[in-house]
Amino acid sequence: MDNIVDGEKTGKSQNNQSFKTPEQVSAADNQTVISPLLNNPTEQGVESKDKMPKKKRKFWPPSKFGWIVIVLVLILIGVCIYAYTLIDKPKPKPVVITVHKAVITTVPSTLTGLPVSPATNQLPITAVMVENIVAARPQSGLSSAGVVFEALAEGGITRFVALFQSNDSTSIGPVRSARPYYISWILGFDAAYAHVGGSAEALSDITAWNVKNMDEFANASAFDRVSSKVAPHNVYTSTAQLNKLETAKGYTTSHFTSWKRKTAAPLKVPTASTINLSMSSSDYNDSYTYNPTTNDYSRFNGGAPQIDANTNQQIKVPDVVAIVVQESRGPLDATNAYYSEYQTVGSGVADIFQDGGVTVGQWTKTSNTSQIQFTETNGQAIALNPGEAWITAVTSASAVTYK
């Protein structure tokens, strides 16, 4: 029975497997249609391609067609730009830019007549006593001075007082002692006076005449004693040192009457090309030679070119003046040589050499503090060339010769 049952069961199972409902038949048919599609590689591949995302198209580098388009666009732009430049457009108004240049104002120097700044004329005049004994040569700083006075000191030895304002000098000297007639001349310039002591009369006059005193004995810091020369020929100074001392002492400016100046006009035919000034001896006599090309005079002293040690060049000046001044013997100095004494207040003959010629006139000084003046015989002021002037005191008109 069990077998039957089993057989029935088995048969039933087989019957169940072969029997299908209409819904099952329909589902089986659909599965049959779909399955080949799923198992067909070709069809599967087509469906995968349709479902993949599309790739982005690249624009660079461009294709051949793209290059053609770019070139055509650039040509079109160039044509447009060129056409624009041909259009008559209103021109822009020019922009005016004003540049203010610094105006440099100059005025004639009250000391030399050369162009200087107005501020320079407000500086003090600085006078320095410079010796001229043979052992002192060559001196320093004389070519930087605006005016130089020359006269005998004692024993036939000449000496200079040099006046400075617009030109600086790093070395001036040797500086020596004061004398009364130099003081009288520099008072006309309201100058401060640098010196190393002085004669008894000179030191007395400095006090009595209220001179702006810069004695080395009382102001040693403004002077130097160099080792290259022996005393007393070894005292030197500079404009910087003296200007500093003047400021400390309140000597800040100088008031004086300037000399009349003119425009240089060299003579076509020089009449005074060589000048000789007899002072005392061949060691101290002066001479000048005219230079037509530069319209000035080369100075010789003691028969040799007078050299400025600062420049190692011969001194050249546009104006040479010889004044005849009465001279007498004063007291003896420490070496038993007579001090020279000059009558600086008064008048006398003056020979003014410039432009290769000479004007014979006169000098006049009415007081110690007044300015020395140079005039023609009719009283008209003689105009000097701008630049440095050398004024030498001689004892007679015959001491001046020229040719």
Q: Tens digits of per-residue pLDDT, 19-71?
A: 555 455 445 554 544 444 444 444 444 444 444 555 555 566 777 777 787 77
Predicted local confidence at residue 253, as pLDDT:
97
Residue ranges of the chain whose pLDDT lies below 50: 1-18, 22, 25-26, 30, 32-51
Residues 191 and 301 in one domain: no
> Quick check: is 104 in a domain?
no
Predicted local confidence at residue 335, as pLDDT:
77
> Quick check: is 341 in a domain?
yes
Residues 139 and 228 in one domain: yes
> Quick check: is 205 in a domain?
yes
Predicted local confidence at residue 11, as pLDDT:
42
CATH code, domain with 139: 3.50.90.10
Residues 376 and 338 in one domain: yes
Predicted local confidence at residue 236, as pLDDT:
98
Q: Which range of residues forms the domain containing residue 281?
A: 274-402
> Quick check: is 283 in a domain?
yes
Residues 121 and 241 in one domain: yes
Residues 227 and 154 in one domain: yes
Predicted local confidence at residue 17, as pLDDT:
47
Number of domains in the chain: 2
pLDDT digits (tens, 9 = 90+) for 323-378: 999 999 888 877 777 889 999 999 999 999 999 999 999 999 999 999 999 999 89
> Quick check: is 34 in a domain?
no
Predicted local confidence at residue 6, as pLDDT:
42
Last residue of a domain, one of 186, 214, 249: 249
> Quick check: is 10 in a domain?
no
Residues 157 and 232 in one domain: yes
Q: How far apart are CA 79 and CA 85, in angstroms?
A: 10
Predicted local confidence at residue 384, as pLDDT:
98
Predicted local confidence at residue 89, as pLDDT:
59
> Quick check: is 372 in a domain?
yes
Residues 181 and 278 in one domain: no
> Quick check: is 290 in a domain?
yes
